[in-house]
Amino acid sequence: MIREREKDRQNLLRRIPAVGVLVQEPGIRGLTEDYPQAVVVEVIGEVLGNLRKRIIEDGEFEPDLSSGGLLELVKAALGKRMQPKLRRVINATGVVLHTNLGRAILGRQAVEAINQVAGSFSNLELDLETGKRGSRYQHVEEILCRLTGAEAAMVVNNNAAAVLLTLSTLAKGKEVIVSRGELVEIGGSFRIPEVMAQSGARLVEVGATNKTHLRDYVNAITEETALLLKVHTSNYRIIGFTQSIEEGELVALGREKGLPVFHDLGSGVLVDFRNYGLRPEPRVQDSITAGVDLVSFSGDKLLGGPQAGVIVGKAQYIQQIRKNPLTRALRVDKFTLAALEATLQLYLDEKKAMEEIPTLRMLSYPLEELAKRAAALAEGIAAVAGDKLRATVQDGVSQVGGGALPEEDIPTKVVAITIEGSLPGLEDFLRGRPAPILARIQKEQLLLDLRTILPGEEEEIVAALGEYDSNN
């Protein structure tokens, strides 16, 4: 019996063709039109090696060794090898601004704008009226000023760069006063004290962690002071016995002492969140109205645009910043400018911004809509999954993420999945799909939050769960 089996295995092994032979098969030869020859040969070697290994290790394994069967295996392995490393994923986590998932996604207008300038030449640094050299910043300056009320604006690579550049321009070799309660770390890599050190400015901390008074700032001002800095503590909140200085008070102090005031707002919010049932976040235009000299914010947080760092404020300071040689190193590219302009255009009509900017649309998505979509998704899953898993609609909470509105739990609807087998196994399976599906595990359930699942992605989720086999 055992001898028979041994012979079977030997037979199977003998039927595996040599790499050099398989490469010459017409079907496989055709693959070299789509894929580099060297990679095809490498992948064939891998596929055949894996087959050999499985035949030896698994006495039950009966592979299809026909040329058609081998072609399918090679094709699948090649597809996997050549798929981009950076690719689209389905965000079912309910975290709207997920830094690991690329933060804000762009609306169709912004994507179209990138398309327009990507494969064609553009007037990036050409003034079309005069035919002379222009500035890349001019394309978005007017609209940024219009939306925020600022005199001037410019854009760099991200908000960390905006803060670095502003500090370096206005306070290099001098002192910057900031409240101890605002020395934030964002995303593990941006820390105010470290950015300050890099800029060449000296940090002067005032107040205590929970309380800072105006007199703390007053007492810290010396001949060496160049700037008063306020940082929006966007990703945490100190609660209880607290006090911080209102923007207006700091502006008045700055005026009195002849010192500019710079507010790092973090998220760039232009709409009043209270109108949409959310906790209010400070708006850029309110800082400008309060008289703050410079305000900086991210493009890809609550603004819902591309990664960028926007600086708006007084023209005299923006002009100085533009002349800083660091600006060249931190400069923004044309795709970002195109997407940012298109996103900002939408803000000219707030209703349109709420509908068309994905970040804002997701945050204000009506619960009834989410409930409807969740019911349809659960039904779709039940239809393909048989009894291998159970899907029910439940109440859940979504999060803003991206270091914004830390306490804000937004009620949502989720599809909760339970299975007989291993839940982490299911999670890995979903993450391993060509379009990976990212979900959350909570209390022995895998949760799919409809808030961040884009309309149309439900079908892919249903298809994936239909293919899931807990035995594999």
Binding site for ligand PLP (CB under 6 A): 158-160, 163, 184, 186, 190, 231-232, 234, 264, 266, 298, 309, 403
Name the residue nearer to ligand PLP (CB basis): 159 or 212: 159
| CA pair distance 336, 328, nearest whole angstrom | 15
Q: What's the Cα-to-Cα distance from 270 to each of 135, 162, 294, 305, 459, rounded to whole Å?
A: 25, 18, 16, 12, 34
Distance between CA atoms of 436 and 65, rounded to whole angstroms?
Answer: 30
Output 225 or 298, the one with its CB closest to ligand PLP: 298
Cβ at position 455, least distance to ligand PLP in Å: 28
Q: Which is nearer to ligand PLP, 78 or 186 (CB)?
A: 186
Candidates 251, 245, 225; CA nearest to 233 is 245
Which is closer to ligand PLP, CB of 159 or CB of 225? 159
Nearer to ligand PLP, 63 or 102 (CB): 102
Instruction: Enumerate residues 6+ apart whose C-beta is below 8 A from 389.
Output: 381, 417, 418, 419, 420, 426, 465, 468
CB of 155 to ligand PLP, least distance (A): 11
DSSP 445: E
Minimal distance, residue 190 CB to ligand PLP, in Å: 5
Tell me the residue number closest to ligand PLP, measured at CB: 266
CB of 298 to ligand PLP, least distance (A): 3
What is the nearest approach in angstroms of ligand PLP to the Cβ of residue 256?
Answer: 26
Indicate the SS3 state at residue 205. Answer: strand
In the complex, the smallest distance separating the C-beta of residue 18 from ligand PLP, rounded to whole angstroms, is: 53
Bridge partners of residue 390, in order along the sequence:
418
Instruction: Considering the complex, state which of residue 234 and residue 445 has its C-beta at the smaller distance from ligand PLP.
Output: 234
Question: Would you say 32 or 324 has its CB closer to ligand PLP?
Answer: 324
The first and second tokens of residue 160, run together, are 């960390």
Query: Do 60 and 408 contact (CB within 8 A), yes or no?
Result: no
CA–CA gap between residue 421 and residue 200 (Å, rounded): 56
216 vs 213: CA distance, rounded Å: 5
345: number of Cβ within 10 Å:
18
Q: Residue 209's CB: how many other CB atoms inside 10 A?
A: 13
Tell me whether residue 94 or residue 305 sits nearer to ligand PLP (CB atom): 305
User: What is the smallest separation between the CB atom of 269 and ligand PLP, expressed in angstroms?
Assistant: 11
Closer to ligand PLP by CB, 91 or 307: give it.
Answer: 307
CB of 292 to ligand PLP, least distance (A): 14
Q: From the CB of residue 280, how many other CB atoms can be counted at a distance below 10 Å?
A: 12
State the minimum distance, in angstroms, from the CB of residue 227 to ligand PLP: 15
Residues in contact with 290: Cβ distance below 8 Å, sequence separation at least 6, in sequence order: 247, 248, 251
Instruction: Find tokens 């709207």 and name the residue.
Output: 96
Burial of 124 (0-12, 13-18, 19+ CB in 10 A): middle
Rounded to a whole number of angstroms, the minimum distance from the CB of residue 166 to ligand PLP is 11
Return the ∠ at Cα 385 (arms to 379 and 389), rounded to 5°: 95
Lookup: tokens for 185:
């770390």
Which neighbouring-strand residues pair with 331? 156
Task: Identify the three-state secondary structure at position 313.
Answer: strand
Compare residues 260 and 380 and give the one whose CB is closer to ligand PLP. 260
